[in-house]
């Protein structure tokens, strides 16, 4: 929304202008891998890395805002002998990059590794050979100093507002969807390195920030040490890891079934906790990033709990009880408002 519209509705966020497509994917720019390390918690069956890329001296230097994504074009050619198509990866850095000068950007790629499954008609249902995603594995294989072709920036909606102190935040992540929130949290709470351009004007954000991070197993929690550390240092930030495939302590000394991000919120609302106040407050913005479909459970929960402001419900669903909504109804008929930023893939 524009600044003029914001005057009409002060609850809607004013987003900054973000540069887009400075480098196009059909003419990517040559950058170098700066570093690469695993960022899972302990020994995990998933391989997810924190990869830093030096874009210094390219048109991408200083071009990013936290929350945007960028393109990676894997070296080599596809089965048809054509260059590989670009894949997008979320920026895990604050707007000033890892270095404070916008030269080093980071992302959080997960290796796609699976047994082959039929994708389209004619695929052999008996073929269960190893399937390796092209770009995620290529990117995770790269070492410091290796060349890498990148493009971007991409995305202009999944951004922090111009004045972050005007809002409170609910951040919902699943898996590698944590990437933009790492950037946001460094930008809101940690600040730029001393001596970097942004350091002169940066102010710590005092708003309330709740991060709910969903992952299948505890070992798949990403940036967990950093997030715990931030929560320890900043009383306005709360970090809630939610694990779906393990039993969790139920608070009464027993074990309860694992849960998803929306179950966690639902359970907080059940307790009449201050989550209710946060979700009913017109200051609150909701950001969701991760697995396609994660919004379905969240949007259903918001509708069932009669929490408005984050979604627009299509007329087709007006007379239908929420309990009867299908996933397809929600995907097609429930849309995020300006106070809800959605990035799912």
Ligand X SMILES: Cc1cc2nc3c(=O)[nH]c(=O)nc-3n(C[C@H](O)[C@H](O)[C@H](O)COP(=O)(O)OP(=O)(O)OC[C@H]3O[C@@H](n4cnc5c(N)ncnc54)[C@H](O)[C@@H]3O)c2cc1C
User: Which residues of the shown chain bind ligand X in the complex (CB under 6 A)?
Assistant: 69, 87-90, 107-110, 112, 114, 116-117, 119, 131, 133-137, 176, 179, 343, 345
CA distance 234 to 208: 10
Cis-peptide into 58, omega within 30 deg:
no
Q: How far apart are CA 190 and CA 98, in angstroms?
A: 12
**Closest approach of Cβ 28 to ligand X, in Å?**
14
The CA-based dihedral angle spanning residues 90, 204, 171, 234, taken in that order and rounded to the nearest 10 degrees: 120
Residue ranges of alpha helices (H) inside the chain are 3-8, 134-141, 179-185, 224-233, 261-270, 275-280, 294-304, 327-333
Whichever of 80 and 272 has its CB closer to ligand X, that residue is: 80
H or E segment and range at residue 238: strand 237-243
Q: Minimum CB separation from ligand X for residue 80, in Å?
A: 14
Shortest Cβ 286–ligand X spacing (Å): 18
Minimum separation from the CB atom of position 93 to ligand X (A): 12
Nearest to ligand X of 87, 338 (CB atom)? 87
**Cβ-based nearer residue to ligand X, 41 or 166:** 41
CB of 179 to ligand X, least distance (A): 4
Which of 86, 296 has the CB closer to ligand X? 86
Residues, the chain, total? 345
- The Cα–Cα gap between 8 and 4 comes to 7
Name every residue whose Cβ is closer than 8 Å to that of residue 176 and which is 6 or more positions away in sequence. 48, 90, 108, 109, 110, 222, 290
Kindly state the smallest distance separating residue 74's Cβ from ligand X, in Å.
7
**CA 74 from centroid of its chain's CA atoms:** 22
Nearer to ligand X, 175 or 191 (CB): 175
Spatial CA neighbour of 97 closest among 150, 61, 51, 144: 61
- What strands, in cross-sheet order, belong to the sheet with 340-344? 237-243, 209-215, 168-174, 284-290, 340-344
Tell me whether residue 140 or residue 313 sits nearer to ligand X (CB atom).
140
Classify residue 192 by its DSSP letter. Answer: P
What is the closest distance, in whole angstroms, from the C-beta atom of residue 119 to ligand X in the complex? 5
Query: For residues 180 and 309, which CB has a smaller minimum distance to ligand X in the complex?
Result: 180
Cβ 129 to ligand X shortest distance, Å: 9
Residue (9 or 117) nearer to ligand X, CB: 117
Beta strand 284-290 pairing with 168-174:
parallel
Nearest residue to the partner ligand X, using Cβ: 133
């Amino acid at each position: 929304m524009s600044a003029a519209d914001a005057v009409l509705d002060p609850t809607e966020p004013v987003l900054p202008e973000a540069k887009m497509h400075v480098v196009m994917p059909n003419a990517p720019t040559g950058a170098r891998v700066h570093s690469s390390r695993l960022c899972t918690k302990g020994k995990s069956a998933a391989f997810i890395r924190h990869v830093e890329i030096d874009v210094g001296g390219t048109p991408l230097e200083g071009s990013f805002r936290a929350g945007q994504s960028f393109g990676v074009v894997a070296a080599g050619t596809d089965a048809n002998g054509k260059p590989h198509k670009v894949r997008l990866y979320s920026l895990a850095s604050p707007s000033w990059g890892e270095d404070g000068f916008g030269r080093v950007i980071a992302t959080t790629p997960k290796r796609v590794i699976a047994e082959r499954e039929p994708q389209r008609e004619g695929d052999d249902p008996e073929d269960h050979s190893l399937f390796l995603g092209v770009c995620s594995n290529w990117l995770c294989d790269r070492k410091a100093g290796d060349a890498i072709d990148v493009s971007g920036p991409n995305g202009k909606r999944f951004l922090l507002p111009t004045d972050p102190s005007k809002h409170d935040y609910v951040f919902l992540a699943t898996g590698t969807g944590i990437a933009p929130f790492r950037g946001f949290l460094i930008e809101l709470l940690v600040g730029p390195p001393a001596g970097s351009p942004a350091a002169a004007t940066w102010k710590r954000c005092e708003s309330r920030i709740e991060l709910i991070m969903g992952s299948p197993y505890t070992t798949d929690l990403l940036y967990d040490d950093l997030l715990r550390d931030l929560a320890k240092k900043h009383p306005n930030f709360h970090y809630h890891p939610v694990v779906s495939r393990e039993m969790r302590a139920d608070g009464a000394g027993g074990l309860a079934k694992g849960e998803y991000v929306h179950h966690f919120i639902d359970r907080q609302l059940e307790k009449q906790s201050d989550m209710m106040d946060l979700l009913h407050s017109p200051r609150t913005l909701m950001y969701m990033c991760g697995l396609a479909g994660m919004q379905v459970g969240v949007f259903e929960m918001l509708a069932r709990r009669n929490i408005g402001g984050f979604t627009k419900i299509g007329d087709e669903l007006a007379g239908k009880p929420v309990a009867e909504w299908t996933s397809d109804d929600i995907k097609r008929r429930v849309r995020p408002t300006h106070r809800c930023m959605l990035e799912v893939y």
